[in-house]
């Protein structure tokens, strides 16, 4: 009664194929020659890298992390923070707390103080600390700053440490970072 | 009599320490070579700090082997609830001990004349000479295959008694794979036995210091290049290393037949595996690479052009011992190169490769060797 009818071939254009059929020649199917080729490739790379190591160079692409830092960070990379200084060396920060407010990770702590000797900028940060164990390097603090007092360098803060206390950076360290060749500090 | 005992004791000590050192060093070699092959640096963070100073010895990461051993000794010694506690406890030892025993018949140096080496003891030794080989057996090769067979029992025993389906699957795979490849391995050797007419390994090494066509050393790899390749492949398969590591395929069977083993029991399996690399290296060196002799050299000295240029005995012994170690290390390094270059077989491919590809080739090799020998004798 209900005989199984053959499925009619589908109409329309043939379905596109998104993969390549494995096309292997007899040479490749013999396997042993391809094995020899693979061994030759890995052996060649081994020899090349060994020669580099022996001749005093570096035969690897890896960077030893705490000992070496990569030189090829992008110029737009959001790395460590710096506090911009005025010509007299005081921080440009006016302790408005906007960066601390906008910070999604809540890593910035600012304690404002009053300086009666400077009528132009009477408010300054007595304490400016960043907790790098929690910082997510989003750059919102830089966006929020009305005085252009905080910026980010392309270099990352190299703070490998076994304690979290070591990852808090104080105002002095944020001011003293990379003072010589830092374009941001003019 | 007591002299023989002392010398044999020293030889056993040398052989065991060489094997254990190879087992430890090869973990480092494997890590570092894999790293260098793939543009990495490799394990280099373990260090030993000299007490009371800040001097940290890293030594290219050599201490990682020590850290491994320490970790295995300090881990919990887990025991599964199994119906066969004795088999479970025996498993690692049945795997580990035969691997060490195989080395007893492998000659790792030429003739030792202790009287000539240490003149003060010349009177005591009274002109006795010893071959640098623990057991001088006529049946050397047969002993090696006999002990190799025990290793299969170890793998099957540990897998069966672990009461775990992954272990059981791994043991089944290990059993069928090792038995299949052992047949191939023995067949590849038969051609060599036909040529040399002996299974005594010391004799085989001495015969290999001859010449082919007056300039090539009569190494097994020169006489039987085909058998050499087949033997190496079968030996790697016998050792259950990639591309033949089906019994312990991590992505399929966790760790195969030693899934249920922890701490130093698992360490014994790993150690046995690494020592087996060295054993395969030693076997290949002995059978195909002229054993402990550098090319164009035998116990008499170098003999490339004219007569042999003799070496003093105190130089000869270290040269031969060192040559053996270097050759073994080269073969080990090649095995590691294979392990980090090739992907794993599928299981049916593995057995088909053994029985449909290597077995006929080994048979053909044997047949051709026999025919050529027959023609040469006529």
pLDDT band at A8 (very low <50, low <70, confident <90, very high): low
Indicate if A96 and A57 belong to the same structural domain: no
Question: Is some CB atom of chain B closer than 8 A to the CB atom of A50?
Answer: yes
d(CA A135, CA A73): 19
Instruction: Say whether A49 and B39 touch across the interface (CB within 8 A).
Output: yes
Question: Is some CB atom of chain B closer than 8 A to the CB atom of A29?
Answer: no
Please check whether residue A125 lies inside any domain of the structure: yes
Please check whether residue A166 lies inside any domain of the structure: yes
Which H, E and C letters describe chain B, residue by residue? CHHHHHHHHHHHHHHHHHHHHHHHHHHHHHHHHHHHHCCCCCCCCCCEECCCCCCEECHHHCCHHHHHHHHHHHCCCCCCCCCCHHHHHHHHHHHHHHHHHHHHHCCCCCEECHHHHCHHHHHHHCCCCEECCCCCCCCHHHHHHHHHHHHHHHHHHHHHHCCCHHHHHHHHHHHHHHHHHHHHHHHHHHHHHHHHCCCCHHHHHHHCCCEECCCEECCHHHHCHHHHHHHHHHHHHHCCCCCCCHHHCHHHHCCHHHCCCCHHHHHHHHHHHHHHHHHHHHHHHHHHCCCCCCCCEECCEECCCCCCECCCHHHHHHHHHHHHHHHHHHHHHHHHHHHCCCCCCCHHHHHHHHHHHHHHHHHHHHHHHHHHHHHHHC
Q: How many CB pairs under 8 A join A and B?
A: 38
pLDDT tens track of chain B, all 378 residues? 788 888 888 889 998 899 888 888 898 999 999 999 988 888 888 888 889 888 888 888 888 888 888 898 898 888 888 778 888 888 888 988 888 888 888 888 877 777 777 778 777 777 777 888 888 888 888 888 888 888 888 888 888 888 888 888 888 888 888 888 888 988 898 888 888 888 888 888 888 877 777 777 778 888 888 889 899 989 888 888 878 888 887 777 787 888 888 888 888 888 888 898 899 999 999 888 888 888 877 776 666 666 667 777 777 888 888 989 999 999 999 999 998 888 888 888 888 888 988 899 999 999 999 999 899 888
Please check whether residue A36 lies inside any domain of the structure: yes
Q: Which of A38, A41, A59 sits opposite B36 (nearest CB)?
A: A59
List pLDDT tens digits, range A64-118. 777 777 777 888 888 888 888 887 778 888 999 999 999 999 999 999 999 998 8
| Structural domain boundaries enclosing A46 | 25-62
Indicate if A58 and A130 belong to the same structural domain: no
B48 beta partners? B57
Indicate if A96 and A174 belong to the same structural domain: yes
In B, which residues are within 8 Å of A53 by CB distance? Answer: 36
Which residue from B minimizes the CA distance to A53? B36
Please check whether residue A7 lies inside any domain of the structure: no
Indicate if A162 and A102 belong to the same structural domain: yes
Question: Is some CB atom of chain A closer than 8 A to the CB atom of B36?
Answer: yes
Considering only residues 143 to 172 of chain A, which have any Cβ-Cβ distance to chain B shorter than 8 Å?
A: none
Instruction: Say whether A45 and B40 touch across the interface (CB within 8 A).
Output: no
Indicate if A134 and A92 belong to the same structural domain: yes
Please check whether residue A149 lies inside any domain of the structure: yes
Please check whether residue A106 lies inside any domain of the structure: yes
Indicate if A38 and A90 belong to the same structural domain: no
Indicate if A102 and A174 belong to the same structural domain: yes
Indicate if A87 and A55 belong to the same structural domain: no
Please check whether residue A10 lies inside any domain of the structure: no
The domain total for chain A is: 2
Indicate if A128 and A167 belong to the same structural domain: yes
Indicate if A52 and A129 belong to the same structural domain: no
Does the pLDDT at position A184 exceed 60? no
The whole model's pTM is what?
0.79
Question: Is some CB atom of chain B closer than 8 A to the CB atom of A35?
Answer: yes
Q: Which two tokens stand for residue B2?
A: 């007591």
CATH number of residue A156's parent domain? 3.30.70.3270
Question: Is some CB atom of chain B closer than 8 A to the CB atom of A49?
Answer: yes
Residue finishing a domain among A15, A34, A62: A62
Q: ipTM score here? A: 0.82
Please check whether residue A50 lies inside any domain of the structure: yes
A85 beta partners? A91
pLDDT at A182: 47
Indicate if A171 and A141 belong to the same structural domain: yes
Which residue from A minimizes the CA distance to B358? A32
CA angle B126, B129, B133 (to 5 degrees): 145
Instruction: Say whether A42 and B40 touch across the interface (CB within 8 A).
Output: no
Indicate if A127 and A163 belong to the same structural domain: yes
Instruction: Say whether B342 and A49 touch across the interface (CB within 8 A).
Output: no
Instruction: Say whether B37 and A61 touch across the interface (CB within 8 A).
Output: no
């Amino acid at each position: 009664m209900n005989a199984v009818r053959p499925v009619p071939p589908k109409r329309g254009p043939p379905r596109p194929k998104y993969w390549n059929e494995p096309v292997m020649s007899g040479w490749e199917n013999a396997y042993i020659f391809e094995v020899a080729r693979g061994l030759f490739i890995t052996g060649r790379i081994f020899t090349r890298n060994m020669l580099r190591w022996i001749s005093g160079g570096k035969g690897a692409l890896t960077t030893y992390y705490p000992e070496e830092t990569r030189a090829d960070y992008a110029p737009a990379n959001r790395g460590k923070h710096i506090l911009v200084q005025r010509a007299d060396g005081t921080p440009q920060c006016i302790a408005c707390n906007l960066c601390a407010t906008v910070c999604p990770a809540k890593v910035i702590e600012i304690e404002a103080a009053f300086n009666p000797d400077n009528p132009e900028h009477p408010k300054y940060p007595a304490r400016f600390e960043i907790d790098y164990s929690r910082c997510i390097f989003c750059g919102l603090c830089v966006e929020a700053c009305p005085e252009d007092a905080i910026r980010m360098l392309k270099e990352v803060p190299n703070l490998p440490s076994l304690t979290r206390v070591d990852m808090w950076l104080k105002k002095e360290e944020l001011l003293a970072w990379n003072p010589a060749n830092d374009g941001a500090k003019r | 009599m007591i002299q023989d005992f002392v010398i044999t004791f020293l030889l056993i000590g040398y052989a065991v320490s060489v094997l254990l050192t190879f087992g430890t060093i090869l973990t480092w070699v494997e890590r570092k070579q894999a790293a260098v092959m793939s543009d990495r640096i490799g394990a280099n963070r373990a260090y030993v700090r000299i007490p009371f100073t800040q001097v940290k010895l890293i030594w290219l990461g050599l201490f990682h082997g020590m850290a491994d051993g320490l970790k295995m000794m300090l881990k919990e010694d887990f025991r599964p609830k199994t119906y066969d506690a004795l088999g479970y406890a025996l498993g690692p030892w049945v795997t580990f001990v035969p691997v060490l025993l195989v080395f007893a018949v492998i000659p790792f140096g030429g003739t030792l004349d202790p009287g000539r080496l240490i003149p003060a003891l010349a009177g005591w030794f009274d002109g006795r000479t010893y071959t640098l080989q623990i057991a001088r057996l006529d049946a050397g090769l047969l002993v090696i295959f006999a002990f190799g067979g025990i290793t299969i029992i170890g793998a099957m025993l540990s897998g069966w008694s672990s009461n775990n389906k992954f272990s059981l699957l791994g043991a089944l795979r290990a059993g069928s794979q090792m038995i299949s490849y052992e047949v191939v391995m023995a067949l590849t050797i038969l051609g060599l036995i036909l040529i040399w007419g002996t299974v005594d390994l010391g004799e085989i090494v001495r015969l290999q210091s001859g010449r082919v066509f007056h300039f090539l050393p009569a190494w097994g790899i020169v006489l039987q290049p085909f058998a050499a390749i087949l033997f190496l492949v079968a030996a790697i398969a016998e050792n259950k290393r990639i591309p033949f590591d089906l019994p312990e395929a991590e992505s399929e069977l966790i760790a195969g037949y030693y899934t249920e083993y922890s701490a130093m029991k698992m360490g014994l399996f790993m150690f046995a595996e690494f020592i087996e690399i060295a054993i395969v290296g030693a076997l290949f060196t002995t059978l195909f690479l002229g054993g402990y002799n550098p090319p164009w050299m035998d116990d008499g000295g170098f003999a490339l052009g004219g007569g042999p240029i003799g070496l003093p005995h105190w130089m000869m012994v270290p040269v031969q011992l060192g040559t053996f170690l270097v050759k073994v290390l080269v073969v080990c390094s090649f095995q590691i190169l294979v392990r980090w270059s090739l992907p794993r077989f599928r299981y049916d491919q593995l057995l088909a490769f053994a029985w449909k590809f290597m077995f006929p080739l080994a048979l053909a090799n044997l047949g051709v060797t026999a025919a050529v020998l027959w023609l040469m004798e006529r």
